[in-house]
Amino acid sequence: MAENMAITKTDLLAAAQNGALVLTVNQRLARYLVQAYDSRLQEQGCTAWKSPTIHFHMQWQRQMAGLLHLDAKTLAPVQALRLWERAVEEEERDLAGGGLMRVPDAARAAAQAHQLLCEYGATFKPEDGGEDHRAFLRWQRRWQQLCREGGWDDPALLPGRLVQALEHTELPLPGDLWLAGFDELTPTIEALCLTLQKRGVTVHQWMPQACQPQSQGRVGYADPDEEVRSCAQWVRRQLEDNVERIGVIAVDMAAYQQRLQRIFREELSPAALLPGAGAEKAFNLSLGTPLLNEGMVLAAFELLALGRRVSLDSISYLLRSPFVWGYSAEKHSRAILDRELRNLRMTELPLKNVLHFAERGFKKKLGLADIFARQLETIQTALADTDTRLPGAWARHFAEVLDNCQWSRDRSLTSREFQVFTAWKELLAGTACLDPVSRPMRRGEALALLRRLAAEEVFQPEGSAGRVQVLGALEATGQQFDALWLIGAHDEALPASARPNAFIPPPLQRSLKMPHADAARELDFAHKIAERLLIAAPLLVVSWPLCMDGRERQPSPLVQHLPLIEPRLSGSQRPALLIQEAAPPLESLCDEYGPAIPEGSRISGGTAILKDQALCPFKAYARHRLGARGLSTASVGLDGLDRGSLVHRVLELFWQKTRDWQGLTTLDAEDWSERSLSCVEQALDELDSVRQVSLSKSQKQLEKQRLLGLLGEWLEIEAQRPPFSVETMEAWHRETFGPLTLQTRIDRIDRLADGSQVIIDYKTGLAAVGDWLGDRPVEPQLPLYTLDRHDSELSAVAFAKVKRGDCPFVGLGRDDDLLPGVASASGHRKLEGTEISHWDDLLKSWHQTLHQLGDGFANGQAQVDPINARLACDRCDLQSLCRIADQNGLQGDEELL
């Protein structure tokens, strides 16, 4: 084989012009050489010419298979993978333990193992490996059986078949063969070369000549983000200096791709960040993204995946997606529908209920979205089809459903979106090729298969072939640049860690030197990659992150011979930074008050107003004056609010029937059980009647068991009290603070044997006496209930903490033990160091404190002044409104401490 580094690209193109066959290591290099060939002939004055025989080697194999009429019988890659999935499924179906959980992943790895074994002409016996290797051999036998039954040729054997055809003159021989860009030759390529040489064909191997170095060096950066941003600024500097061909090569593109896309757009093409921006012009990122990740395709799958029960996340996504028909006309009503569905606080909803809400809206027709409802109706109709079909028929069915839903037709598509739409249509059409290797399947299985195909389909939008190319290390083979930045060259990426195939015994992989077999193999390959890349441009910068994924990184040992440098960078063009730098000085105005509450105004909120005012005046103002709210959070089953309401109602019903301590303690076991069950069932029925979505039988049964256990545990505590009677329950209470009148309901007031009263508030969460005290009591309801009571009449206030395994009274009283565990205010440890020495002082303190809070709210007090971050800010849904992170000098993604 002729291999001479002095051979130039001109020599190669001249050979191609003379009819030589040029096989490249990848598709990108083939395109690059064809473009160079066309330019050469244009320079020679030609106006028309025959296309050169420059091909990606796998594409050439497929062309030769067509000449041998093997293409119709040889499985395409997607067909072969689907047949491997069938082989794995069928082999594992009857095994103990239910078979594999991730058949597609196992099938993919098995197909790769089979390809390697065929490539290297190797086999192994069951006793040569472990259980995984024996499983692979079973799958391989089943795969080969399925191929024989279907009359299909194994695509892994195609290269060998072509070599045989060349040996027997079944295929035309090229004049010369040129191999372009191969760092190393696979066994099948070596066999091809040997066969052609025997037939008198001259074989050449070409790699670009080394560039004459002008400036080379390495530099480390704190993290990958700083590394990529510096690289982008270096690229801008090269553009400003009119450098023609600029390359950025990522050693590990998978780890850097998203950063490169995001940061390069910020620095090189800020306009591309705007909604509706066209195709990227400033740079060409070679590797695409899975088609499934494109918003238009994801919206299609979310529509098709809707079932009889739908997740709130899926419905919310569809309501907010611009690719769902009617978004432009209904985006306001859809936002309201999304909010109201979230207010149901359910993670899953029946599709028929969502359809009902979309058709009719909620109260006062809030969230009415007719167009969206029509699409849900289309989906609901489609779900009635329970037949089994082949993948091609399902693809046509899915396309019809999307057409009926007017998917992606709500607005004009951008260039990128149109390319996505085209790629999706091609994916659906191509699914029919799986029919010969598939069996009829149900809708869910077909949709899962289509989703997998979309995840495997790489979408690469048509971009500019301009001056800046961003490539992976393997894609850059054969490419040369005027300036090159090699990014991510740390010791864990160059060389990479060994990744032997899990289904081939490691000793066999090492003996044959299969790709990724061991560390020595990776090091040898990394040397070849590094040698090629380090001579690919006269101006070279190599960088690495000093820290990545929480671990320190060192430069690759293959680049440590380069000197340390400081690359010349252009100034950052990040939009946020430019806006900040260009912003004029702003005048600060500290306005901590909104308008006072007008006389006669009605403001709802009850004790929550005072609680929020104590936590943070801005929170109270924004929530109760401006009506600001975060979106509700869904939970599985009943959430804390519903469960708390159930406990309150069950206890109310029980004491309505029982009335006092004597009635409680005289109940026998049967009456106790019957009354408890009656109260629990009534409370559940009442809750179910007011819910937009009914509880399932299993949910009711679980909640019934929980409530019965909790009620029994709490009533045992009540039975230990001295005699009492329940005087009032859910009694309305009003309190006035200037123009502000608060109306609340007191859970319960008991009358003790001495004639005094005890106020009780049920609590199913945390409860602490300290939350009532201080200038800003964060649990003000019990103190509020004391304001219109005669000092001599009221003897204690307490939370009844009704929580499984933790059911105490938590409170303060005039004397000790008026309630179990409730101490006197006199000398209480929480009141030490204050001016409160006894019960009457405490009542007066509450009166003063609560009126200060109420008057502050009524006067429009609205400063951002949280009592502390843990209580006021950790779960607050208004931080984006108050911007406390900015006020404290924090970045948006830093945690508020």
pLDDT higher for 689 or 543? 543
* Residue 390 confidence (pLDDT): 94
What whole-number distance in Å separates Cα of residue 290 and Cα of residue 454?
Answer: 7
pLDDT of residue 825 exceeding 70, the answer is yes
* Residue 465 confidence (pLDDT): 59
* Residue 697 confidence (pLDDT): 87
* Residue 633 confidence (pLDDT): 83
Per the CB < 8 A criterion, the answer to whether 298 and 402 are in contact is no
- Kindly report whether the peptide bond that precedes residue 495 is cis, defined as omega within 30 degrees of 0: yes
* Residue 323 confidence (pLDDT): 92
Q: List the beta bridge partners of residue 735.
A: 742
What whole-number distance in Å separates Cα of residue 709 and Cα of residue 643?
Answer: 14
Coil, strand or helix: which one is 746?
strand
What whole-number distance in Å separates Cα of residue 36 and Cα of residue 34?
Answer: 5
The mean predicted confidence, pLDDT, of the chain is 88
Q: What percent of the chain has pLDDT over 90?
A: 58
- Give ∠ CA 95-98-102 in degrees, rounded to 5: 110
What whole-number distance in Å separates Cα of residue 572 and Cα of residue 563?
Answer: 25
Q: List the beta bridge partners of residue 635.
A: 346
Which of 510, 509, 508 shows the shortest CA–CA distance to 128?
508
pLDDT of residue 893 exceeding 50, the answer is no
Band of residue 286 on the pLDDT scale cut at 50, 70, 90: low
* Residue 98 confidence (pLDDT): 52
pLDDT digits (tens, 9 = 90+) for 608-625: 999 999 999 999 999 999
Band of residue 333 on the pLDDT scale cut at 50, 70, 90: very high
Per the CB < 8 A criterion, the answer to whether 803 and 771 are in contact is no
Per the CB < 8 A criterion, the answer to whether 391 and 449 are in contact is yes
HSE at residue 707, side-chain half, CA atoms within 13 A, is 30
pLDDT digits (tens, 9 = 90+) for 15-51: 999 989 999 998 889 988 998 899 888 998 888 889 8
| Amino acid making up residue 549 | D
Coil, strand or helix: which one is 471?
strand
Average pLDDT, integer, range 374-379: 94
* Residue 690 confidence (pLDDT): 80
DSSP code string of 270-304 = GGGGSTT--S--S-EE-S-EEGGGSHHHHHHHHHH
* Residue 897 confidence (pLDDT): 30
pLDDT digits (tens, 9 = 90+) for 174-186: 889 999 989 889 9
Band of residue 890 on the pLDDT scale cut at 50, 70, 90: very low
* Residue 558 confidence (pLDDT): 94
What whole-number distance in Å separates Cα of residue 240 and Cα of residue 320?
Answer: 41
Lowest mean pLDDT, pick from 92-101, 287-296, 393-402, 553-562: 92-101
- Paired tokens of 278: 């066209």
Per the CB < 8 A criterion, the answer to whether 807 and 713 are in contact is yes
Distance, first Cα to last Cα, the chain: 68
Cα diameter, the chain = 118
What whole-number distance in Å separates Cα of residue 317 and Cα of residue 309?
Answer: 15
Per the CB < 8 A criterion, the answer to whether 684 and 696 are in contact is no
Average pLDDT, integer, range 332-354: 91
- Paired tokens of 485: 């930045």
* Chain Cα centroid distance, residue 643: 30
Which of 205, 254, 288 shows the shortest CA–CA distance to 4?
205
* Residue 896 confidence (pLDDT): 32
Average pLDDT, integer, range 810-816: 93
- Give ∠ CA 262-264-268 in degrees, rounded to 5: 130
**What's 193-210 look like in SS3?**
HHHHHHCCCEEEEECCCC
Lowest mean pLDDT, pick from 306-310, 409-413, 813-817: 409-413
pLDDT digits (tens, 9 = 90+) for 441-492: 999 999 999 999 999 888 877 755 568 888 889 888 888 899 999 999 999 9
